[in-house]
Amino acid sequence: MGRQVDAGGGHGRGIVATASRRWFGGRDESRRAEAQASKDAAAAAFYELDTAQRDLRISIETITAVDSGPAARQAVEDFARLGRRIDEVSHAYIEAVDAHDLDRPELDGASAARARTDLDRARAELERVQGELERFTRGLQPLLEHAETQLARVAPARERAKAALLAASDALDAVRASGMRADELAARLARLAPELTKLNQGAGQHGVPETVQRADRLLREAEAIRAEAERLPERAAETDRRLVSLRTRAQALRNRADRVEPVLSELRRRFSAACWQDLQPVPELAARDIAQAEERLREAGTARAEQRWADATSLIATVRALLDSVDGAVSAAQDRLARLEAVAEDPQAEVRRSRFAIRDAQRLAMEGRTVPDPRHARPLDEAVARVDRAVRSLEDSRHPDYWHFLQEMEGVRAAVGRVVADLRGRRAVG
């Protein structure tokens, strides 16, 4: 019995010992599993916090790319403080993970329990800071929405500018293929390269307003280059037409200028010196201006051949101005003779025109009045006196100054016209 008891007892103790080892081992495994679950939960919290921080950093960068105001600066400062807090709890989490190797075979239940406690504490801190970060993110929404709205302008503006630059480049290639150099336009396009580099660097480096403005400037300049490139063939043809036209006009004016001297001879023969003295320089000045115009025409032709369009255009404008001057001077001499002949034949025609204008103005001044307004009566009375004096000057002179007479009549009609304009303006106002 005894042996049987002993045996039984031994057997019983063996059974108890085995059961005891299994029970403690089971609790250790349970604690190890709980610690591992805490580790996994802490890792998930760490990952979520890290991801949220990365997302928030992108939001902050979006805001600062657009806004440099007080609210944006405060957001940056708050984010930096929050970042330091995140670093603290992240460091605590990493220390907790490093302090407990849950995969050690000899890990006992007490160690697993301590690991679980430390990891739960680290997870709780991570989650608490995660909550702070989420609240901060919600507070940023107005700034972020504004920034995103502004940034949405950047990409379309940049793409439009790039498309315009490409179109300008294609237009230049096409016009060069037709045999035109377009060096000036190519240089203008090349000068845009640094601006394109800055545009590609984006709003993050240069800010949204400056980036959009840069894109708009590039767009305008590129479109201007493209338009000018496309117009080059037409511009060349137009330049050729203008050169031909100006050469023809210069020759015609040279022929007309040659006829000024006979006109002056006729004026000198028939009229007093006062009627023609101011026209004496016309032949010499006309010859000089025509010679200059022809020289500028040759220079313009050279500029056209060398495809220096701006120079050709400027020279053509100079030629036109010179020829206009000659035209005016030559016409003045011919018109002077015609007008003097007409007034010498019938001076009263000019007098009648002037007196009619005066009477018409006097009737207008008296409409609705019994006494004229002195502001209108005085200049009209003076006009009558001027006409009378001009008529007497013709009658009292052996060599009438018909040119002065004509100028006086024109002066009278101009003065009367100003009175009429004032009368009508006052009546229109009421």
Clarify whether residues 6 and 147 are in a common domain. yes
Among residues of the chain, what percentage have pLDDT more than 70? Answer: 91
pLDDT score of 27: 64
Total domains in the fold of the chain:
4
Domain of 96, in residue numbers: 2-151
Q: Which of 111-115, 177-181, 336-340, 396-400 has the lowest mean pLDDT?
A: 111-115
Report the interhelical angle of 109-151 vs 2-66 (nearest 10°). Answer: 20
**Structure-block tokens of residue 233:** 């063939």
Cα 190 to chain centroid distance, Å, stands at 19
C-alpha 241/C-alpha 251 separation (Å) is 16
Tokens 């800055």: give the residue: 198
Apex 329 CA angle, 326 and 330, nearest 5? 85
Alpha helices in 67-108 (DSSP H): 70-99
Which is more confident, 382 or 152? 382
Do 35 and 132 lie in one domain? The reply is: yes
pLDDT over 50 (residue 22): no
The mean per-residue pLDDT over the stretch 304-331 comes to: 94
Q: 20 and 145: one domain?
A: yes
- What is the token pair recorded at 24? 């403690």
The rounded distance, in Å, linking the Cα atoms of 65 and 327 is 63
Of the three residues 341, 375, 407, the one that is the final residue of a domain is 341
Cα 392 to Cα 401: distance, rounded to the nearest angstrom: 11
- Picking from 214, 232, 250, the residue at the C-terminal end of a domain is 232
Q: Give the separation between CA 77 and CA 88, rounded to whole angstroms.
A: 17
> Which of 67-71, 128-132, 385-389 shows the lowest per-residue confidence on average (mean pLDDT)?
67-71
CA angle 253, 255, 258 (to 5 degrees): 105
Q: pLDDT (tens digit, 9 = 90+) per residue, 348-403?
A: 999 999 999 999 999 999 988 888 888 999 999 999 999 999 999 988 878 889 99
Cα–Cα distance, 383 to 415 (Å, whole number): 7
Q: 167 and 143 in one domain?
A: no
In a shared domain, residues 224 and 271? no
**pLDDT beyond 80 at 112:** no
Instruction: Identify the domain boundary among 317, 341, 365.
Output: 341
| Gyration radius from the chain CA atoms | 50
- Interatomic CA distance for residues 123 and 394, integer angstroms: 118
417 vs 328: CA distance, rounded Å:
26
Answer positive or negative: Cα dihedral of 417, 422, 428, 430.
negative
CB count, 10 Å around CB of 144?
20
* 257/315 same-domain check: yes
Q: Nearest 5°: CA angle at 390, between 388 and 394?
A: 115
- Side chain identity, residue 93: Y
Q: Rounded distance, CA 81 to CA 425, Å?
A: 74
* 26 lies in the same domain as 136: yes
- The pLDDT assigned to 68 comes to 72
pLDDT per residue as tens digits for the range 188-216: 999 999 998 988 887 767 777 888 889 99
Judge whether 356 and 295 are in contact, CB under 8 Å: no
Residue 204 C-alpha from the chain's centroid? 22
Residues 70, 54 share a domain: yes
Q: Which two tokens stand for residue 221?
A: 């300049």
Do 198 and 86 share a structural domain? no
Average pLDDT across the chain, whole number: 85
In the numeric block, which tokens belong to residue 135?
Answer: 């609240």
Winning range, highest mean pLDDT, from 71-75, 116-120, 336-340, 369-373:
336-340
pTM over 0.95: no
Pair (147, 165) in one structural domain: no
Averaged pLDDT for residues 279-301: 95
pLDDT in tens, 220-236: 999 999 999 999 999 89
Burial class for 208, CB neighbours closer than 10 Å (0-12, 13-18, 19+): buried
Could you tell me which of 374, 378, 376, 384 has the C-alpha nearest to residue 412?
A: 384
Q: Return the higher-pLDDT residue of 268 and 148.
A: 268
Listed in order, strand segments (DSSP E) in 142-245 are none
CB atoms within 10 A of CB 273: 11
Shared domain for 45 and 61, answered yes or no, is yes
pLDDT digits (tens, 9 = 90+) for 401-420: 999 999 999 999 999 999 99
pLDDT at 344 over 50: yes
Classified as helix, coil or strand, 197 is helix
Q: Do 147 and 171 lie in a common domain? A: no
The residue behind tokens 């845009």 is: 192
